[in-house]
């Protein structure tokens, strides 16, 4: 007997579940479920939260070996963020002390760290159990890092845009942009969650070289300031950083990880504690004025497109403020400066009177490229109400009414429809400006075009859907592979075993065999060799059909003769009651392929009916072609399975345990029929049982039959 484990197939009786004497599942079932579970699972003692077991997936996802985990607390080895660890301890304690025994688990989200220090996020399900008389905690982790990072990036983008809106108001209200730049940099640094924000201005040095100087800076707590660093004051442009200078001069951002810079430049930035940085050019009018930079001193930073575009808006707003201050301060030019500021901002600046009635006082020319309508028409026609997308009007107008009543800041994302019917997403933010007595005077607002950002979000969602579909396809292919191996293994093994046994018996010199026995063994070898040949031929034909490599080699023939010859020459139904009922039917077909159709249908009938069942093979002319039918009075095929059984490696749910099969016979029947322009289908036989039918076009006119003309 072969000691190796066998592949379970349909001819075997289903295995009994492993049970203990008291009727409960064997412990090995639980051990296998824990060991092979696709999620990261660990078990901790409740009294001290030390890890007592961890499955292989937990080791893989955390990057730690089981030996480094067992007996340790997650916070001791830096696995869980300290803040989340404290929260976890509180939640588990509350769970353990709760009086309601029905509440034994909860789900939360945690941060954890990989051995290289990288931060990751996971969705964690926690439950209580008893092991060896002691209470334990079962924790299951599912990675959520990508979704959380995208959520955080979108949050930073929105915070940056809100800060830019507030900065525009500060610049408008200040006499000098330098008076409010510290507050603006602080807001941008906190919104972008960086270590340092700085402003450098381009200068012409005494040596007539172009260079830059450090003007302003904000630093997060604990980050060393560089504003007084001599290496950042009045320094010529570094020749090794021509790429940086060229990018900013073109109006493009420059992003880099310090480790990727040339050695000398890398040392310069590393001395300031910088790991990653992003520089955004500042243009005052058409002149490249300088740059606003964002330093990350803790880890390498991957900036999203949304964050970069939001920081571009910030640099544009600062550039507009600088440009405004560069113009002379005459009374007439003051208004021009104001207009220059709001018109250069890559957004729409507007001013409306406070009150229940919508009364616009000013709208910047940026409204025209954004919404395709001039500022004058937008104000005189009060077009805002008409341009808001119909599906967004209710929520937008309700928020507008609420803030008009409460005078709270107005901030909302919605869609607007241009006159050319193009839809534009906007972020609309406004605040009330008050006089020196605190009385409200007007609404000052900014509208940002966020269409590209929304499109990026939609693209990301579609990419995630595509990834999920690809994963599902891969799982399906893996299941198909396993099904194939299970289906084909028996059909290969059984004839090989018989063939090998007969051959070895004939090869033995110590046994004298009678001629009858020798002929029987030789016959067995031939029969099993033909079985193997049929299986290999089926697999090769299925592959060639899938690749479109087969074309029918037609010949005029009587289909009744073909069917009758197959039944007479086949060894499949020699011990079964097979009736051939045919009528002369002349068709143009590929004879070997049609013979395979008849043989596979006959094999299918024999395999899936009891020994006493009768089988009929019929041929009739029908609908400018012929119908070939193989019927039986066996158990039949359920209605819901009549299409599925023609799929690769599919077997009916009612297949007998004694009926082996690879599950490709009926697939070849259907594919060979389609190769001729016909089709195959299954239905219930009159009087009970199964009827498998194939319609083949006559082929006499040389044309493949059309699907609309196919019967059945």
Between CA 546 and CA 648 the distance in angstroms is 11
Between CA 232 and CA 215 the distance in angstroms is 9
Of 181, 218, 187, 204, whose CA–CA distance to 293 is shortest?
218
687 Rama class: left (phi>0) / alpha (psi -120 to 50) / beta: left
Handedness of CA 451, 457, 461, 462 (dihedral sign): positive
Between CA 280 and CA 393 the distance in angstroms is 36
Please indicate, yes or no, if residue 20 is contained in any of the structural domains: no
Q: Is the pTM of this model over 0.75?
A: no
Q: What is the CATH number for 479?
A: 1.10.287
Residues in the chain: 712
User: Torsions phi, psi of 521, nearest 5?
Assistant: -65, -40
For the chain, the domain total comes to: 5
579 has a pLDDT exceeding 50 = yes
**Distance from first CA to last CA of the chain, Å, rounded?**
49
In this structure, the dihedral spanned by the alpha carbons of residues 294, 295, 299 and 303, taken in order and rounded to 10 degrees, is 20
pLDDT per residue over 616-634, tens digit each?
A: 999 999 888 999 999 999 8
Same domain, 302 and 163: yes
Q: What is the CATH number for 429?
A: 3.30.450.20
Between CA 629 and CA 419 the distance in angstroms is 65
Specify which residues 142 forms β-bridges with: 123
Of 310, 342, 291, 37, whose CA–CA distance to 172 is shortest?
342
Please indicate, yes or no, if residue 13 is contained in any of the structural domains: no
253 has a pLDDT exceeding 90 = yes
Same domain, 513 and 591: no
Of 241, 236, 290, whose CA–CA distance to 261 is shortest?
241
Of 146, 134, 122, whose CA–CA distance to 74 is shortest?
122
* Greater pLDDT, 504 or 351: 351
pLDDT-derived band at 254 (thresholds 50, 70, 90) equals: very high
Between CA 173 and CA 338 the distance in angstroms is 10
Pick the range with the lowest mean pLDDT from 2-6, 369-373, 426-430, 684-688.
2-6
pLDDT-derived band at 101 (thresholds 50, 70, 90) equals: very low
Strands, E, within 483-624: which ranges?
555-558, 577-582, 586-589, 614-621
- In sequence order, the 6+-apart residues with CB closer than 8 A to the CB of 588 are 554, 555, 556, 557, 698, 699, 700
Handedness of CA 9, 11, 17, 20 (dihedral sign): negative
Q: What is the CATH number for 649?
A: 3.30.565.10
pLDDT per residue over 40-95, tens digit each?
A: 899 988 888 899 999 998 888 888 888 888 999 888 877 887 777 777 778 777 77
Q: Return the number of other C-beta atoms located less than 10 Å from residue 123's C-beta.
A: 16
430 has a pLDDT exceeding 90 = yes
Between CA 643 and CA 639 the distance in angstroms is 8
394 has a pLDDT exceeding 90 = yes
Whole-number average pLDDT of the chain? 82
User: Torsions phi, psi of 118, nearest 5?
Assistant: -65, 140
Please indicate, yes or no, if residue 543 is contained in any of the structural domains: no
List, edge to edge, every strand of the sheet that includes 410-417.
360-363, 348-353, 440-449, 423-434, 410-417
Same domain, 440 and 473: no
Q: Return the number of other C-beta atoms located less than 10 Å from residue 663's C-beta.
A: 21
Same domain, 674 and 647: yes
Same domain, 111 and 164: no
Per-residue confidence (pLDDT) for residue 712, from 0 to 100: 41
Of the three residues 449, 477, 493, the one that is the final residue of a domain is 449
DSSP state of 704: P
Give the pairing of strands 134-143 and 119-131.
antiparallel
Q: What is the mean pLDDT of residues 689-703?
A: 82
Same domain, 191 and 284: yes
Same domain, 242 and 115: no
Q: What is the mean pLDDT of residues 565-589?
A: 85
Same domain, 465 and 569: no
Q: What is the CATH number for 260?
A: 3.30.450.40
Residues 600/665, Cβ–Cβ less than 8 Å? yes
The DSSP secondary structure of 13-48, one letter per residue, reads PPPPPPB-TTSPBPHHHHHHHHHH-SSEEEEEETTT
Specify which residues 380 forms β-bridges with: none
* Greater pLDDT, 197 or 266: 197
Q: Which domain holds residue 578?
A: 551-709
703 has a pLDDT exceeding 60 = no
Same domain, 566 and 498: no
Same domain, 153 and 131: no
Please indicate, yes or no, if residue 336 is contained in any of the structural domains: no
Of the three residues 108, 143, 178, the one that is the final residue of a domain is 143
pLDDT per residue over 49-64, tens digit each?
A: 899 999 998 888 888 8
Q: What is the mean pLDDT of residues 586-591?
A: 90
Same domain, 240 and 225: yes
pLDDT-derived band at 485 (thresholds 50, 70, 90) equals: low
Please indicate, yes or no, if residue 5 is contained in any of the structural domains: no
Per-residue confidence (pLDDT) for residue 422, from 0 to 100: 94
User: Torsions phi, psi of 139, nearest 5?
Assistant: -120, 130
Same domain, 158 and 278: yes
Please indicate, yes or no, if residue 16 is contained in any of the structural domains: no
Of the three residues 533, 560, 581, the one that is the final residue of a domain is 533
Q: What is the mean pLDDT of residues 639-648?
A: 84
- In sequence order, the 6+-apart residues with CB closer than 8 A to the CB of 568 are none
In this structure, the dihedral spanned by the alpha carbons of residues 26, 31, 36 and 40, taken in order and rounded to 10 degrees, is 140
Between CA 432 and CA 441 the distance in angstroms is 7
Please indicate, yes or no, if residue 403 is contained in any of the structural domains: yes
Please indicate, yes or no, if residue 491 is contained in any of the structural domains: yes
Per-residue confidence (pLDDT) for residue 543, from 0 to 100: 65
């Amino acid at each position: 007997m072969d000691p190796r484990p066998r592949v379970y197939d349909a001819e075997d009786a289903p295995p009994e579940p492993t049970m203990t004497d008291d009727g409960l599942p064997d412990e090995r079932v639980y051990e296998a479920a824990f060991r092979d579970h696709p999620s990261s699972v660990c078990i901790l003692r409740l009294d001290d939260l030390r890890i007592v077991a961890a499955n292989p997936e937990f080791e893989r996802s955390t990057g730690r070996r089981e030996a480094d985990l067992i007996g340790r607390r997650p916070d001791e080895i830096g696995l869980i963020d300290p803040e989340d660890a404290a929260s976890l301890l509180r939640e588990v304690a509350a769970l353990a002390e709760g009086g309601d025994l029905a509440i034994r688990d909860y789900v939360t989200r945690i941060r954890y760290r990989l051995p290289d220090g990288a931060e990751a996020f996971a969705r964690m399900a926690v439950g209580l159990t008893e092991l060896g008389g002691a209470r334990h905690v079962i924790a299951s982790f599912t990675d959520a890092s990508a979704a959380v990072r995208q959520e955080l990036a979108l949050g930073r983008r929105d915070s940056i845009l809100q800060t830019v809106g507030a900065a525009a108001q500060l610049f408008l209200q200040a006499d000098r942009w330098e008076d409010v730049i510290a507050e603006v940099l602080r807001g941008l640094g906190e919104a972008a969650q960086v270590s340092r924000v700085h402003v450098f201005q381009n200068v012409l040095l005494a040596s007539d070289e172009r260079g830059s100087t450090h003007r302003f800076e904000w630093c997060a707590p604990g980050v060393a300031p560089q504003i007084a660093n001599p290496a950042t004051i009045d320094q010529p442009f570094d020749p090794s950083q021509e790429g940086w200078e060229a990018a900013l001069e073109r109006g493009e951002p420059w992003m880099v990880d310090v480790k990727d810079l040339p050695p000398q430049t890398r040392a310069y930035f590393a001395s300031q504690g910088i790991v990653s940085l992003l520089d955004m050019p500042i243009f005052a009018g058409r002149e490249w004025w300088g740059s606003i930079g964002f330093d990350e001193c803790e880890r390498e930073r991957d900036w999203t497109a949304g964050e970069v575009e939001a920081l571009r808006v910030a640099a544009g707003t600062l550039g507009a403020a600088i440009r405004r201050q560069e113009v002379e301060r005459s009374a007439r030019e003051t208004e021009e400066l104001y207009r220059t500021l709001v018109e250069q901002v890559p957004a729409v600046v507007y001013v409306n009177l406070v009150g229940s009635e919508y009364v616009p006082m000013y709208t910047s020319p940026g409204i025209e490229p954004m919404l395709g309508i001039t500022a004058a028409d937008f104000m005189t026609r009060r077009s805002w109400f008409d341009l808001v997308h119909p599906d967004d009007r209710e929520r937008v107008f309700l928020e507008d009414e609420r803030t008009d009543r409460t005078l709270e800041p107005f901030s909302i994302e919605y869609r607007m429809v241009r006159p050319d019917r193009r839809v534009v997403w906007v972020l609309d933010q406004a605040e009330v400006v008050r006089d020196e007595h605190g009385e409200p005077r007007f609404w000052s607002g900014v509208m940002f075009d966020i269409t590209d950002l929304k499109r990026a979000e939609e693209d990301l969602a579609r990419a995630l859907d595509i990834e999920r579909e690809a994963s599902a396809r891969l799982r399906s292919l893996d299941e198909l592979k396993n099904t194939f191996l299970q289906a084909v293994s028996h059909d290969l093994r059984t004839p090989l075993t018989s063939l090998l046994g007969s051959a070895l018996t004939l090869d033995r010199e110590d046994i004298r065999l009678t001629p009858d026995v020798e002929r029987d063994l030789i016959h067995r070898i031939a029969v099993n060799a033909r079985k193997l040949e049929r299986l290999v031929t089926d697999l090769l034909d299925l592959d060639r059909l899938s690749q479109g490599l087969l074309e029918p080699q037609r010949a005029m023939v009587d289909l009744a003769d073909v069917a009758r010859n197959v039944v007479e020459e086949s060894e499949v139904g020699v011990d079964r009651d097979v009736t051939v009922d045919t009528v002369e039917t002349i068709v143009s077909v590929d004879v070997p392929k049609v013979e395979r159709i008849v043989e596979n249908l006959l094999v299918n009938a024999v395999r899936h009916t009891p020994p006493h069942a009768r089988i009929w093979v019929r041929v009739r002319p029908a609908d400018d072609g012929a119908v070939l039918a193989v019927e039986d009075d066996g158990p039949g095929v359920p209605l819901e399975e009549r299409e599925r059984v023609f799929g690769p490696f599919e077997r009916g749910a009612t297949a007998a345990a004694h009926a082996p099969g690879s599950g490709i016979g009926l697939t070849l029947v259907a594919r060979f029929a389609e190769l001729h322009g016909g089709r195959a289908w299954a239905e219930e036989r009159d009087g009970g049982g199964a009827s498998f039918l194939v319609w083949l076009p006559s082929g006499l006119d040389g044309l493949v039959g059309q699907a609309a003309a196919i019967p059945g």
